[in-house]
């Protein structure tokens, strides 16, 4: 049985694959075999993104950060909700540049390609529900 409580070091690992297509553009997928059909095989990279497993308190914090109350109306910004989830729960990743592993921080998360960021979050949400 799973624990009733989430520990601070409980992690959720998301695995994705990156490759370049024949024109040199990058492709991202959660499906290695499907990606190989479209990509140059020698450019295939497997990457992992580690997230803190969200607790109830994490869920409340992320949700409330995306809620605005205007004239007694509650509005939730779904894009801000997903961004705040990524920023608050991401712990590490295997993305590198010439200087080594790129740090996981708000600025670098903001710079991610939107398709890649959404793929990562979609995979994360499949795991945690």
| pLDDT > 90 fraction of the chain, expressed in percent and rounded | 76
Return the number of other C-beta atoms located less than 10 Å from residue 85's C-beta: 23
**Residue 115 pLDDT:** 95
Give the mean pLDDT of the chain: 93
**Residue 21 pLDDT:** 83
CB 39 within 8 A of CB 27: yes
**Residue 1 pLDDT:** 52
Q: How far is C-alpha 10 from the chain's CA centre?
A: 16
Q: Would strands 45-52 and 11-20 be described as parallel, antiparallel, or unpaired?
A: antiparallel
Give per-residue pLDDT as tens, 26-66: 899 999 998 888 877 788 999 999 999 999 999 999 999 99
89: left (phi over 0), alpha (psi -120 to 50) or beta: alpha
Q: Return the domain boundaries, the chain.
A: 11-128
CB 114 within 8 A of CB 108: no
């Amino acid at each position: 049985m799973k624990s009733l409580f989430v520990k601070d070091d409980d992690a959720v690992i998301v695995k994705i694959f990156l490759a370049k297509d024949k024109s040199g553009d990058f492709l991202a997928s959660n499906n290695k075999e499907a990606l190989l059909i479209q990509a140059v095989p020698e450019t295939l990279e497997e990457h992992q993104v580690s997230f803190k497993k969200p607790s109830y308190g994490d869920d409340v914090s992320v949700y409330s950060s995306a809620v605005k109350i205007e004239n007694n109306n509650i509005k939730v910004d779904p894009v801000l909700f997903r961004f705040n989830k990524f920023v608050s729960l991401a712990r590490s990743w295997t993305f590198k540049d010439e200087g080594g592993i790129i740090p996981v921080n708000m600025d670098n998360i903001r710079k991610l390609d939107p398709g890649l960021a959404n793929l990562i979050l979609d995979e994360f949400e499949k795991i945690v529900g």
